[in-house]
């Protein structure tokens, strides 16, 4: 069992997964922040419990605000989804605006 209590379920499908990693420009301006590195590690470790999930791309928006979806890597990921190259997205967490 993984750290959020979900058990991998038997599934015959192979999921084509995109990792989406983002850090706001307000959180720092390193070329690739430590938080992006940590997000990558956490998501990849989580996915190890799911052998039918194949990581096919990794999209990183480091230094882009989450206030809009006008982020280069997010747009590329959406293009991958629309083209059928990706049918699953993994992120560390999603914050909702209040």
Domain count, the chain: 1
Q: Is residue 97 part of a domain?
A: no
Q: Mind listing the pLDDT tens digit for each residue in 9-23?
A: 666 789 999 999 998
Q: Is residue 9 part of a domain?
A: no
Q: Mind listing the pLDDT tens digit for each residue in 55-86?
A: 999 999 988 877 888 899 999 999 999 999 99
What is the DSSP code string of 46-89? Answer: HHTT-TTEEEEEEEEEET--TTSS--HHHHHHHHHHHTTS-SEE
Tell me if 46 sits within 8 A of 85, measured CB to CB: no
CATH number at residue 37: 3.40.50.1390
Question: What's the pTM value of the predicted model, to 2 decimals?
Answer: 0.75
Q: Is residue 58 part of a domain?
A: yes
Q: Is residue 7 part of a domain?
A: no
Q: Is residue 2 part of a domain?
A: no
* Domain containing residue 42: 15-90
Neighbouring residues of 70: CB distance < 8 A, sequence distance ≥ 6: none
Nearest Cα to Cα of residue 55 among 66, 67, 46, 64: 46
């Amino acid at each position: 069992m993984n750290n959020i209590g979900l058990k991998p379920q038997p599934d015959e499908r192979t999921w084509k997964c995109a990792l989406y990693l983002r850090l706001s420009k307000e959180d720092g301006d390193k070329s690739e922040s430590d938080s992006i590195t940590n997000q990558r590690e956490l998501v990849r470790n989580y996915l190890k419990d799911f052998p039918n999930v194949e990581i096919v791309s990794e999209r990183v928006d480091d230094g882009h605000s989450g206030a809009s979806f006008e982020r280069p890597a997010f747009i590329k990921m959406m293009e991958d989804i629309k083209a059928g190259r990706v049918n699953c997205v993994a992120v560390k967490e999603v914050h909702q605006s209040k």
